Amino acid sequence: MNIKNSKNLFSQAKQFIPGGVNSPVRAFKAVGGDPLFIKSANGAYLYDEDDNAYIELINSWGPMILGHNHPDVREAVVKAIAGGTSFGAPTAREVEIAELICSMVPSIEKVRMVNSGTEATMSAIRVARGYTGRDKFIKFEGNYHGHGDSFLIAAGSGAMTMGTPNSPGVTTGTAMDTLLAPYNDLSAVKSLVEANKDEIAAIILEPVAGNMGCVLPAPGFLEGLRGLCDEEGIVLIFDEVMTGFRLSAGGAQELLGVKPDMTTLGKIIGGGMPVGAYGGRKEIMEYVSPDGPVYQAGTLSGNPMAMAAGFAMLKQLSEHPEVYSKLETTGGKLVEGIKDSLKKLNLSFTVNHLGSMYSLFFTDLKVKDLTTAQSCDTALFGKYFQAMLHRGVYLAPSQFESLFLSTALEEKEIAHVIEANEDSLKEILS
Please list the active-site residues: 144, 239, 267
Q: 251 to 270, contacts with ligand KE4 by CB under 6 A?
A: 266
Binder among 6, 59, 91, 118 for ligand KE4 (CB under 6 A): 118
| The dihedral formed by the CA atoms of 293, 298, 302 and 303, expressed in degrees to the nearest 10 | 160
Q: How many residues bind ligand KE4 (CB under 6 A)?
A: 21
Whether the CB-CB separation of 376 and 362 falls below 8 Å is answered with: yes
- Cα separation of 396 and 29, whole Å? 12
DSSP 67: -
Residues 274-303 contacting ligand KE4, CB under 6 A: 276
Spatial neighbors of 18 by CB under 8 A, at least 6 apart, are: none
Query: Whole-angstrom Cα distance, residue 272 to residue 141?
Result: 28
Contacts of 322 (CB under 8 A, 6+ apart): none
Choosing from 241, 249, 317, 354, the residue that interacts with ligand KE4 (CB under 6 A) is: 241
Give the whole-angstrom CA distance, residue 205 versus residue 222: 9
Q: Per-residue x/- mask for ligand KE4, residues 136 to 155, rule CB under 6 A? A: --------xxx---------
Q: Binding of ligand KE4 at residue 29 (CB under 6 A)?
A: no
Of 88, 41, 77, 30, give the one whose Cα is nearest residue 307. Answer: 77
Within residues 190-229, the interface with ligand KE4 by CB under 6 A covers 206, 210-211
DSSP annotation of 167: -
Least Å distance between CB 23 and ligand KE4? 3
**Closer residue to ligand KE4 in complex, CB, 21/351:** 21
Quick check: 157 binds ligand KE4 (CB under 6 A)?
A: yes
The minimum distance between CB 181 and ligand KE4, in angstroms, equals 17
Q: What's the CA gap between 158 and 161, in Å, rounded?
A: 5
- CB 205, min distance to ligand KE4, A: 9
Min dist CB 151 to ligand KE4, Å, is 8
CB of 336 to ligand KE4, least distance (A): 25
Backbone φ/ψ region at 51: left (φ over 0), alpha (ψ -120 to 50), beta:
left
Residues 63-102, mask of contacts with ligand KE4 (x by CB under 6 A): ----------------------------------------
Q: Can you give the binding site for ligand KE4, defined by CB under 6 A?
A: 23, 25, 61, 116-118, 121, 144-146, 157-158, 206, 210-211, 239, 241-242, 266, 276, 401
